[in-house]
Amino acid sequence: MQAVFYSQARNNLRDIINKVCDNFDEYIITTKDNKSAVILSYDEYSSMKETMYLLSSKNNRDRLNEAVDQIENLKFIKKDIDIWL
């Protein structure tokens, strides 16, 4: 994550957007009165929002944690799924 002042970000906005989208870089933009914001790619933002949504329900969070535990402890059954097209 890189930190830049507002004026530098304004002057290099296209380059910052390209780096954020192409390389998944993140930027902290700070104003002279110490207000800050983060710039990240839309894909990264969407992924974070989806994760937060999935973890917002206790039942879903517990099921996901249980699945992770099963995978980490190699206690799962692999099944092939037939896809009808």
Domains of the chain: total: 2
User: Considering the domain boundaries, does residue 20 fall inside one?
Assistant: yes
Q: Are residues 6 and 29 in the same domain?
A: yes
Q: Are residues 36 and 64 in the same domain?
A: no
Question: Which domain, by its residues, includes 62?
Answer: 43-72
pTM: 0.66
H or E segment and range at residue 4: strand 2-5
Mean pLDDT score, 49-65: 92
pLDDT at 11 over 90: yes
H or E segment and range at residue 60: helix 58-72
Q: Are residues 36 and 10 in the same domain?
A: yes
Q: Are residues 47 and 63 in the same domain?
A: yes
User: Considering the domain boundaries, does residue 80 fall inside one?
Assistant: no
User: Considering the domain boundaries, does residue 62 fall inside one?
Assistant: yes
Q: Are residues 29 and 54 in the same domain?
A: no
